[in-house]
Amino acid sequence: METRSQLREQVTRKLLDSGINPTRQRLEIGVCLFEKDKHISADQVLELVNRGACEVSKATVYNTLGLFAERGLVRELVITPNKVVYDTNVSDHHHLYNVDTGDLQDLETDELHLNALPRLDDGVQIDGVDIIIRVKNKTPA
């Protein structure tokens, strides 16, 4: 089990390796995010960070999450137009989302088979494939 101090050191290194200046606010947000793999909204990050010794604004959280996503430290997942979460697992994988419960689970790439991708225009290339399978609970017959 790593200590909070060790986690802060790891987050500092991760930010520096990504070309991000590790300010106090970014470090606190990073510690909140990277303590374990998770799917988390900006509002949840704001709440968790502000429970600690560091106060950050909503704008700082959104800007930092945007920067982290741009640099590949988190993946931004648009679940619905009103629900965006950040995934700290940046490996290739997909998601299963239960619209009734709000539960979001990782699906490993070998659990889903994609046979073909669309033909692309010249000058563009695939940057990634993110699949979110939406499910809902069956209603009793």
| CATH number for the domain that contains residue 49 | 1.10.10.10
Is 140 a member of any domain?
Answer: no
pLDDT tens digits, 5-52: 899 999 999 999 999 999 999 999 999 999 888 999 999 999 999 998
Q: Are residues 50 and 96 in the same domain?
A: no
Last residue of a domain, one of 52, 70, 85: 85
Q: Are residues 96 and 80 in the same domain?
A: no
Q: Are residues 60 and 123 in the same domain?
A: no
What's the structural domain count of the chain? Answer: 2
Determine the residue type at 99: V
Q: How far is the CA of 116 from the CAs of 109, 110, 111, 130, in angstroms?
A: 14, 15, 16, 14
Residue 123 reports pLDDT greater than 90: yes
Residue 129 reports pLDDT greater than 90: no
Q: What is the DSSP string of 124-141?
A: --------EEEE-PPPP-
pLDDT tens digits, 73-93: 999 999 989 999 999 999 989
pLDDT of residue 13: 96
Q: Which helix (H) or strand (E) holds 108?
A: strand 104-108
Q: Are residues 22 and 62 in the same domain?
A: yes
Predicted confidence band of residue 54 (pLDDT cuts 50, 70, 90): confident
Percent of the chain with pLDDT over 90: 74
3-state secondary structure string across 69-101 = HHCCCCEEEEEECCEEEEECCCCCEEEEEECCC
